[in-house]
Amino acid sequence: MQYSQTAKKLTAEEKLKLLVSFGTRISAEIRLDLLLNSIAQQITQILNVGRCIIFLIDEDKQELWSKIVQGKGLAYTEIRMPLKTQGITSHVAQTGETINLHNAYEDPRFSMAIDMVTDFRTHSLLAIPLKNNAGKVLGVFQVLNKADGLPFDHNDEGILLLLSTLASSSIEIATLYQELYGAQLETLYRLAITAEYRDQQDTRSHLKNISIITYLLAGALGMSKHDMEVIKNASPLHDIGKVALADNILLKPGKLTPEEFNKMKEHTIYGGKILEGAKSKILQVAYKMSLYHHEKWNGSGYPKGLKGEEIPLEARIVTVADVFDALCQFRVYKSAWRPEDAYEYILQESGKSFDPRIVAAFKKIYHTIRKLYLPSKATLVQESQEQKSSVPTEQTIRQATQE
């Protein structure tokens, strides 16, 4: 996390106040990104420096990472580098020693890479290790360009060490929280794969597309980032009720008889039963999606025949994504449609199957999601094992929908 000075300089008294309230402010934040941003911002002001960058160690990958907050089109991009290099940050992370440079560009270990992408010129630099209570190094705090132009002194080192000590347990907790949250999302996603595994050739791409389309639809409808995330994470579970369907129905190669179709319809009821009364926000949304994703705007859907806004918004969103993607994909009972034809179908069904407001949102994002269906996409976007087993992140969505 990197933060540059833009605010006015603080008086000594204001700084002291900020120092005193530092611990309280950061202990209130559980989300790692926001926590790191808040810490970097406060350190920038307290030490009166041009910039503060926080690097954390990723043990699994043996890398140091940080988020770029400002820079040439790079806002909120993660930067990563190997833990073991000749660089300044790497040295501090590996040895736990402090590095204090009056002129960073004169030190052969200093890399200008970050300065270059963020359009910044580092002069003085102070880098200290971030350690937990057990003395283990978790990352590196860097401050750059002391405002008065003098070198960083013992006083600065002392304050930065104090702040990093105060911040370390909050950072540890937020990191654990992020890992747990990630594990929860992965579990939900794998559960969704289980439900769709039997009847679909390419379950992962169906679920991934549904996640991306619902996320973009929610955005086009003006929903908050938070709600977009919830919808993205809940939507792969909409067909969870299919686990309860017998093979002879789910896998039937041809058209279903009316009796069979009635059985098929029950997957919405089963899904509702599986997810009913859930505690987490994601599962509560998944509950509405699974029970109501086959309701239609004009009231002709199932299981309840709800009409218009009686149908929960989340379900109205996922149904558009589900039908569009189902049409574009091969099924045992149908061949794949061309995306243009599926798009036409969505437009035709506005006000019939679908909420017109959501079809209008779909129109806005169609040029973006169209790219998910380009034949070359599978080879263009090289996915890591990690990405394959979890819902797409904002970064992978951007990658997958780039020209």
Pairwise CA distance, residues 135 & 165, whole Å: 10
CA quadruple 341, 353, 205, 194: dihedral sign:
negative
Give the x/- contact pattern for ligand SIN in 130-169, rule: CB under 6 A: ----------------------------------------
Pairwise CA distance, residues 366 & 201, whole Å: 24
Q: Which does 252 bind (CB under 5 to 8 A by kind): ligand C2E, Fe ion, ligand SIN, none?
A: ligand C2E
Nearer to ligand SIN, 58 or 383 (CB): 58
Identified binder of ligand SIN from the candidate list 8, 154, 226, 255, rule CB under 6 A: 226
Judge contact between 141 and 130, C-beta under 8 A: yes
Nearer to ligand C2E, 105 or 333 (CB): 333
Q: Which does 181 bind (CB under 5 to 8 A by kind): ligand C2E, ligand SIN, Fe ion, none?
A: none
Q: Which does 256 bind (CB under 5 to 8 A by kind): ligand C2E, ligand SIN, Fe ion, none?
A: ligand C2E
Nearer to ligand SIN, 194 or 224 (CB): 224
Identified binder of ligand SIN from the candidate list 58, 186, 266, 383, rule CB under 6 A: 58
* CA-closest candidate to residue 166, choices 10, 27, 47: 27
Q: Which residue has the tokens 């926000």?
A: 281
Nearer to Fe ion, 273 or 371 (CB): 273
224 binds ligand SIN (CB under 6 A): yes
Binding residues vs ligand C2E (CB under 6 A): 199, 252, 255-256, 264, 294, 322-323, 326-327, 331-334
Count of Cβ atoms closer than 10 Å to residue 288 Cβ: 20
364: left (phi over 0), alpha (psi -120 to 50) or beta: alpha
Nearer to ligand SIN, 114 or 291 (CB): 114
Q: Which residues contact 169 (CB under 8 A, 6 or more apart)?
A: 132, 133
Nearer to ligand SIN, 326 or 391 (CB): 391
Rounded to whole angstroms, what are the CA distances from 175 to 58, 76, 171, 189? 10, 17, 6, 21
Nearer to ligand C2E, 52 or 326 (CB): 326
56 binds ligand SIN (CB under 6 A): yes
Judge contact between 186 and 88, C-beta under 8 A: no
CB of 237 to Fe ion, least distance (A): 11
CB of 221 to Fe ion, least distance (A): 22
239 binds Fe ion (CB under 5 A): yes
- Of 188-196, 223-231, 321-329, 393-401, the window that binds ligand SIN (rule: CB under 6 A) is 223-231
- Of 83-91, 141-149, 225-233, 380-388, the window that binds ligand SIN (rule: CB under 6 A) is 225-233
Q: Which does 226 bind (CB under 5 to 8 A by kind): ligand SIN, ligand C2E, Fe ion, none?
A: ligand SIN
Nearer to ligand SIN, 227 or 383 (CB): 227
Pairwise CA distance, residues 218 & 213, whole Å: 9
Pairwise CA distance, residues 260 & 324, whole Å: 23
4 binds ligand SIN (CB under 6 A): no
Cβ neighbourhood burial of 255 (10 Å; 0-12, 13-18, 19+): exposed
Rounded to whole angstroms, what are the CA distances from 386 to 144, 202, 372, 400? 34, 17, 19, 15
Q: Which residues contact 45 (CB under 8 A, 6 or more apart)?
A: 5, 7, 10, 15, 18
Identified binder of ligand SIN from the candidate list 84, 190, 225, 370, rule CB under 6 A: 225
Nearer to ligand C2E, 307 or 331 (CB): 331
- Of 142-150, 155-163, 224-232, 255-263, the window that binds ligand SIN (rule: CB under 6 A) is 224-232
What letters, b where the CB count within 10 A reaches 16 and e where it falls short, cover 143-180? bbbbeeeeebeeebeebbbebbebbbebbeebbeeeee
The footprint of ligand SIN (CB under 6 A) covers 56, 58, 65, 175, 224-227
The footprint of Fe ion (CB under 5 A) covers 239
